[in-house]
Chain A
Amino acid sequence: MLRVSNLTKYYKKTLAVDSLSFDVRDGEIVGLLGPNGAGKTTVLRCVTGIVQPTDGVIEVEGVNLSTNEEDAKRRIAFVPEVPTPYEMLTVYEHLRFIAMAYQTMDSFEERAETLMHRFDLYDKRGDLVLSLSKGMKQKLAIACAFVHDAHVVLLDEPLIGIDPRGVHELKEMITSAKQEGKSILISTHMLDTAERLCDRIIILRKGAIVAEGNLAELHERARMGTDASLEDVFLTLTEESPTNLLAPQ
């Protein structure tokens, strides 16, 4: 389980995230939506310890990230937006390095082989990463996230640039991770994917939550009928209107 309480982040004097609180329960997929600059990537970077929160508490399976960082990070997997992997490692070495970093070498060979097969990387396992296409690099980043047995999976725009087969495999992996009781947080602009994949959706605007809940709850919050799509709900809720800046229900 991932719990974020009163997360606030300032970049110098710019407020990027404003007292954000949410949790992602075990066996739940939560979608993080919002227009550009809403603070989605900052939230994920705070949760992964790349960026230091100005205020607030982040707990990963009850472990506080600020006081017990290494232990908390061991429980997190992260797929960055537009990943830049180590170009001078081979695909296999890259996966091995990540497994070593997370100290999960026990079943590494087996896991790595399965992942490389699933994401069409097996034939390229001895190739340098610099020879991979953009889409293949994205697939490698996803494979790196799943090569260690993390309980909280964070994905920042994971579907961009990968082929339909890769998208299918990723969706399968996300669903099976959910069935294994993992907590999954996906930041995305692909509303149809979020609609189909996520149990709950959090909509951010200017670093604050404007709405949170399942699709039915979002419809209600946007005062729209159940036939309205997530796109309609999203556009309504993220409109520049003072009423949309009210605290979430």
Chain B
Amino acid sequence: MKPLIYLEIRQIINSIKYATRSPKRLIPLLLMGAWICSWLIQGTAFVSGDIKPRHTDLGLIQHLPVETIEAIIFIVLSIGSMMVMYNAFSSGTMVFSLAHIDFLFPTPVSRRHVLLLQLFKDYIKYGFYVTFLFLVIGAPMYSGLGVALFPWGLLSITAVTALLLTVVNLSHTIYIVFTFGFERLRQAGILIKIALGIGPVTAVGFGIYQYIQTGSSYASILWATNSPVVSFVFAPARWCATLLLAPLLGVTAEEWFHFVCLWLLAGASFALLMSRRENIYEPSLGISTRFALRRQRMRFGDFAGARVDALKEKGTRHLGGLDIPPFGAGATALLWKSLVVRYRVSRSQVALMLIVPVLVIFVIKHTIADQITDMLPYAPAVLLYVVWLLSLTAPTEMRNELKQANILKSMPIAAWKVMLAQTVNSVIYLTAGVLVFSGAMWWIIPETRGPVLLSCIIGAPFLGFANISLTAIPGVLYPQNRDVAQNYISGLLSFFLVSLAVIPSVVLGVLCLIFFRTSYYTAALIISAANIAVGAAGVTISGLIFRRYDPTGD
């Protein structure tokens, strides 16, 4: 145990020293710390009654019967627990660092000690998360209800922690035993999976039966969650749900007993995990490597890389769906490549791009559309805001593209054409988004059909071209997405430039429509011409920067 304690202590001390010696690292850390502290202080202030929530009316929650709130908590806890345990049959959650794999696992340090320390670290983390969430969400809520959170809130926090530890310990045990254990154990695992599945199946059965009998969905859900099989299979989640309401309802002797049972379960599951003789190292190898890679990608904002990793993990060889056939030569071929790669890397985003606008427009139609009927013909102007928003993602794309700068620079294509191809790629996706959005407007809200919508459809791609060509400049200027400072400056500059790019459109729009009273179409054409000029300037500037860009330097 001594080497492990030495390792942990030295790493903590060195991390603190490392963070405090550079303002670049210290400032984000202080901001994050201040953010967490502000929540904790606010939570404790609610608890002590020093402050009251601004809105004492908690809306729906205030009017819900206690048994409904308990049922909701129970459903969340039991489904969550079950999903974690089901997943454990295929994928583990015990994550070690790559350094542990390379340098600790081969040493003679006892595996039990390694596991014990890892669990201890995880437990502290979970305890903190539970307390933090309870103070952030629970404190203002109970304060709004005029109920003191403590002392019973402490019971709630410890009860949830006990349930969490039980679920985590069991999921680790399941993964180690049933995924990497002997074949006969794997078969036993299937039986446990079936037993776990009985709970939700009977719940659904009970629910449907009650719905047929009573016709009330509310009563059916309550019946289903209170059915004997569900209550038995998910008893710990039931106890925990009741104990979470302790500040509101107090604690009975039976609930005290359940509280003790929860901790006994946590202890028993810990003992069960520690008693296993299977090698914990091998089951953790795959997940640890994947986790380390993903964390690195996320830290550097490399979402495309993360998506590629996910495809690799799935063993994907081909992607179905839209097939973009090769076209063009030189810069046009580059455009084709960028379109294909972007589609493959962010297919789920493309799918969302098709669904979200329809949903948003649908919600608007059925909520506020009746109250703003006079404004509806001008509502398509919101498309310009959508263009502005989507343009902000362009630098990330540009920086991802520049990771292949070695290849791009060696191609016999002029630098400005490379930049143009990249800009047009983003403009095409942006235009597709705008078309879906405006199509949804046209289809769902007939009042928007008119010259404003058509003018916006004409003008949006050109405004996008101007915005994207300018926001691409910081992407080329600060290409290193591994550098936090470059990320920050690039983001800030992009925001400034995209705001700058909108100015000609706003000024020309005001001049055309208010002073010269031209038609919407004429205004759209004039603004589009101006945006083409701005876009061309942006492409020229980013092309000049790219020509001098050294892919080997940092």
Q: Which residue numbers of A lie inside 8 Å of B, CB to CB? A: 48-52, 69-71, 73-74, 76, 78, 80, 83-90, 93-94, 96-98, 100-103, 128, 141, 144
Q: Smallest distance from the beta carbon of B392 to chain A beta carbons, Å? A: 32
Tell me the complex Cα distance, A86–B15, Å: 11
| Contact A85 B106, beta carbon cutoff 8 Å | no
| Contact A87 B107, beta carbon cutoff 8 Å | no
Most chain A C-beta atoms within 10 Å of own C-beta, residue among B15, B101, B282: B282
Q: Chain A: interface secondary structure?
A: mixed
Q: Smallest distance from the beta carbon of A22 to chain B beta carbons, Å? A: 19
Q: Smallest distance from the beta carbon of A100 to chain B beta carbons, Å? A: 4
The residues of A that contact B103 with a CB separation of less than 8 Å are: 80, 83, 85-86, 94, 97-98, 141, 144
B30 at the A/B interface (Cβ < 8 Å)? no
Q: Interface code B285-318, partner A: CB below 8 Å = 1, 0 otherwise? A: 1000000100000000000000000000000000
| Contact A49 B281, beta carbon cutoff 8 Å | yes
| Contact A80 B102, beta carbon cutoff 8 Å | yes
For chain B, residues 83 to 139, give those with C-beta under 8 angstroms from any C-beta of chain A.
97-99, 101-111
> Contacts A50-B281, A52-B278, A97-B7: A71 and B108 contacting too (C-beta < 8 A)?
yes
> Contacts A50-B281, A100-B2, A101-B108: A88 and B11 contacting too (C-beta < 8 A)?
yes
The residues of B that contact A49 with a CB separation of less than 8 Å are: 105-106, 279, 281
Q: Smallest distance from the beta carbon of A199 to chain B beta carbons, Å? A: 24
Q: Smallest distance from the beta carbon of B534 to chain A beta carbons, Å? A: 43
B180 at the A/B interface (Cβ < 8 Å)? yes
The residues of A that contact B99 with a CB separation of less than 8 Å are: 84-87
Q: Give me 20 other A-B pairs in contact (C-beta within 8 A), A70-B108, A84-B101, A84-B102 excluded.
A: A49-B106, A50-B282, A51-B281, A69-B108, A73-B106, A73-B107, A76-B106, A78-B106, A80-B102, A80-B106, A83-B103, A84-B98, A86-B103, A87-B99, A88-B15, A97-B3, A98-B107, A101-B3, A101-B109, A144-B103
Q: Smallest distance from the beta carbon of B90 to chain A beta carbons, Å? A: 11
The residues of B that contact A71 with a CB separation of less than 8 Å are: 108
The residues of A that contact B104 with a CB separation of less than 8 Å are: 101
Tell me the complex Cα distance, A237–B102, Å: 31
**Chain A residue at minimal CB-CB distance from B11:** A88
Tell me the complex Cα distance, A96–B282, Å: 26
Q: Chain B: interface secondary structure?
A: helix
B218 at the A/B interface (Cβ < 8 Å)? no
**12 contacting pairs across A/B (C-beta < 8 A):** A50-B285, A51-B279, A52-B278, A52-B279, A80-B102, A84-B99, A84-B102, A86-B11, A86-B103, A89-B10, A98-B103, A101-B109
B327 at the A/B interface (Cβ < 8 Å)? no
Q: Smallest distance from the beta carbon of B98 to chain A beta carbons, Å? A: 4
| Contact A103 B108, beta carbon cutoff 8 Å | yes
Interface size bracket, B side: 20 to 34
Tell me the complex Cα distance, A50–B285, Å: 9
Tell me the complex Cα distance, A103–B4, Å: 12
Tell me the complex Cα distance, A71–B108, Å: 7
Most chain B C-beta atoms within 10 Å of own C-beta, residue among A49, A88, A144: A88
Tell me the complex Cα distance, A144–B104, Å: 11
Tell me the complex Cα distance, A225–B91, Å: 52
> Contacts A88-B15, A89-B14: A50 and B106 contacting too (C-beta < 8 A)?
yes
> Contacts A49-B279, A50-B281: A100 and B106 contacting too (C-beta < 8 A)?
no
B257 at the A/B interface (Cβ < 8 Å)? no
Q: Interface code B153-189, partner A: CB below 8 Å = 1, 0 otherwise? A: 0000000000000000000000000001000000000
Q: Smallest distance from the beta carbon of B397 to chain A beta carbons, Å? A: 29
| Contact B278 A100, beta carbon cutoff 8 Å | no
Q: Smallest distance from the beta carbon of B554 to chain A beta carbons, Å? A: 13
**Chain B residue at minimal CB-CB distance from A90:** B14
The residues of B that contact A89 with a CB separation of less than 8 Å are: 7, 10-11, 14
| Contact A97 B6, beta carbon cutoff 8 Å | yes
B18 at the A/B interface (Cβ < 8 Å)? yes
**Chain B residue at minimal CB-CB distance from A156:** B102
| Contact A52 B180, beta carbon cutoff 8 Å | yes
Which residue in A85, A88, A101, A128 is a CB contact (below 8 Å) of B102?
Answer: A85
Q: Smallest distance from the beta carbon of A202 to chain B beta carbons, Å? A: 21
Tell me the complex Cα distance, A51–B280, Å: 9
| Contact A128 B18, beta carbon cutoff 8 Å | yes
The residues of A that contact B281 with a CB separation of less than 8 Å are: 49-52
The residues of B that contact A128 with a CB separation of less than 8 Å are: 14, 18
**Chain B residue at minimal CB-CB distance from A44:** B106
Tell me the complex Cα distance, A144–B15, Å: 22
Most chain A C-beta atoms within 10 Å of own C-beta, residue among B14, B97, B278, B285: B14
| Contact B108 A102, beta carbon cutoff 8 Å | yes
**Chain A residue at minimal CB-CB distance from B286:** A11
| Contact A50 B101, beta carbon cutoff 8 Å | yes
Report the 4 A-B pairs with minimum CB-CB distance, sorted nearest first.
A100-B3, A101-B107, A84-B98, A48-B106
| Contact B102 A83, beta carbon cutoff 8 Å | yes
| Contact A86 B105, beta carbon cutoff 8 Å | no
**Chain B residue at minimal CB-CB distance from A100:** B3
Q: Smallest distance from the beta carbon of B178 to chain A beta carbons, Å? A: 13
Tell me the complex Cα distance, A242–B180, Å: 33
